[in-house]
Amino acid sequence: MTEAVWSRQFGQARITVICEGTGWWPLERALAGVPEELWRPLVETDGENRKLISFNLVHVQTPGASILLDTGFGDFDPAAPNQSLVPVDHMQMTGGLDAGLSVLGIARGNITHVLISHMHADHIGGATRVIDGRRVPAFPNARYYVMQDEWDLAGTWHQPLAYVPEVAEAQKQALLTAGVVELVRGEREATAGIELIPAPGESPGHAIVRIATGGTPVYYLGDLFHQPAEFLHIDWMPRYKHAEMLIATRKQLLPRFVAEDAWLILAHEPLPAMGRVAPAGAAYRWIPFSA
Ligand SMILES: [Zn+2]
C-alpha cells in the first residue's frame, strides 16, 4: 500500500497530494491500441499486464486560502462490487480525503476554494455529499470553480468506462441549488497565485491548475497525462478520449512546462505523483521528484 499523503512547501504554498486509493489498471485500457512490444520497456506491470494506478487529489494552503484541487470519489464507492465508476481491478481505498485533511489539521469548513479539473466521477464525486437525505456541497464555505465547457458538455461525451453521467449530474444539481459555482472561460485566477488553465481532450472542458506563489511554479495536471509513458509518446492515452484534441493540448502546454522548469502533479500516478519533464528527441521524458 502506498502512502496516503505527501506534502511539501513550494514558495508560499504548502502542497499536499492525497491518495484516495489504488488499483491495477489493465494496459489494454490504459494505453489503448499500443502494442505490447512498445509499452513493455516503459511501463512497470504486474503478471497480468496491469499498471498500479493511484487516485489523487490535491490540497494547497496559501497565506490567504485553503484550496482543494478536485474532490475525489466522495460517497461514490469505487471499491463496491459491480461498480462501474473506474475501469481498474482490486481497488483498495485509503482513509481518503477526510483522513488526508485531518493529517493537515483542516476541517471541510476551512476550504475556501474548490477547483475541478473535470467532471469524471473520480474527480468530482466528492464535491457534494448527502446530509439528512439532501445532497449539499461537501465544503460548505467554498466557491467551486469549473470550466463553462465542462459544465455544459461533460455529459454529452461518450465515455462508458471512466465516466458515469449520473454522478456529474447529481453534483451539478446540488452545486447549482446552493449557488456556489463559478463558471470559468479561458485562463482565470481563482485566488492569489492559483490559476485555472483550459486543457481540453480528456473531457470537453478539462482544465489544469497553475500554482505560483514564489519560486518554481507547480502544475496540477488532472488527466492531461495519465502516466509518465505518455510524455514520451504524446499520442498514447486510455480509450474514449478525444485523441486529436488531447494531443493538440499536450503539444501546446509541454513547452510551457519545460520553459518554466515547473513541477507537475499527476492525478493517477502513485505518490508523490510529482516530477518534471525534459525534452527527449521529438518528445519529453518524465523525471520523478527528488528532494
Ligand atoms: Zn481521472
Q: Give distance in angstroms: CA of 54 to centre of ligand 1.
A: 9
Those residues whose beta carbon sits under 5 angstroms from the ion ligand 1 are: 122, 223
Q: Give distance in angstroms: CA of 173 to centre of ligand 1.
A: 21
Q: Give distance in angstroms: CA of 186 to centre of ligand 1.
A: 21
Q: Which residues of 157-186 are buried (b: 16+ CB within 10 A; e: fewer)?
A: bebeebbbbebbebbbebbeeeebbeebee
Q: Give distance in angstroms: CA of 217 to centre of ligand 1.
A: 22
Q: How far apart are CA 183 and CA 86, in angstroms?
A: 26
Average pLDDT over residues 16-23: 96
Average pLDDT over residues 25-39: 94
Assigned C-alpha cell, 270 = 502513485
Q: Give distance in angstroms: CA of 67 to centre of ligand 1.
A: 19
Q: Give distance in angstroms: CA of 23 to centre of ligand 1.
A: 13
Task: Select from 214, 230, 213 the least CA-distant residue to 275.
Answer: 230
CATH of the domain at 108: 3.60.15.10
Q: What is the reported pLDDT for 168? A: 82
Q: Give distance in angstroms: CA of 160 to centre of ligand 1.
A: 14
Grade residue 161 by pLDDT with cuts at 50, 70 and 90. very low
Do residues 92 and 79 make contact, with C-beta atoms less than 8 angstroms apart? yes
How does the average pLDDT of the chain come out, rounded? 92
Q: Give distance in angstroms: CA of 122 to centre of ligand 1.
A: 6
Average pLDDT over residues 266-271: 97
Q: Give distance in angstroms: CA of 268 to centre of ligand 1.
A: 7
Structural domain including 261 reads 5-288
Q: Give distance in angstroms: CA of 108 to centre of ligand 1.
A: 22
Full-model pTM: 0.95
Question: Residue 285 phi/psi, 5° resolution?
Answer: -120, 150
Q: Give distance in angstroms: CA of 51 to centre of ligand 1.
A: 15
Least confident of 131-145, 151-165, 180-194: 151-165
Higher pLDDT, 291 or 212: 212
Q: Give distance in angstroms: CA of 110 to centre of ligand 1.
A: 25
Q: What is the reported pLDDT for 2? A: 44
Average pLDDT over residues 200-225: 96
Task: Please report the sign of the dihedral spanned by the C-alpha atoms of residue 264, residue 218, residue 188, residue 256.
Answer: negative
Average pLDDT over residues 259-273: 97
Domains in the chain: how many in total? 1
Average pLDDT over residues 120-139: 94
Q: What is the reported pLDDT for 248? A: 98
Average pLDDT over residues 170-199: 96
Q: Please, where are the H alpha helices in 19-90? A: 27-30, 36-39
Q: Give distance in angstroms: CA of 243 to centre of ligand 1.
A: 16
Q: Give distance in angstroms: CA of 149 to centre of ligand 1.
A: 18
Q: Give distance in angstroms: CA of 206 to centre of ligand 1.
A: 11
pLDDT tens track for 240-251: 789 999 999 999
Average pLDDT over residues 52-56: 96
Q: Give distance in angstroms: CA of 65 to centre of ligand 1.
A: 25
Grade residue 89 by pLDDT with cuts at 50, 70 and 90. confident
The 8-class DSSP code of residue 156 comes to G
Q: Give distance in angstroms: CA of 81 to centre of ligand 1.
A: 20
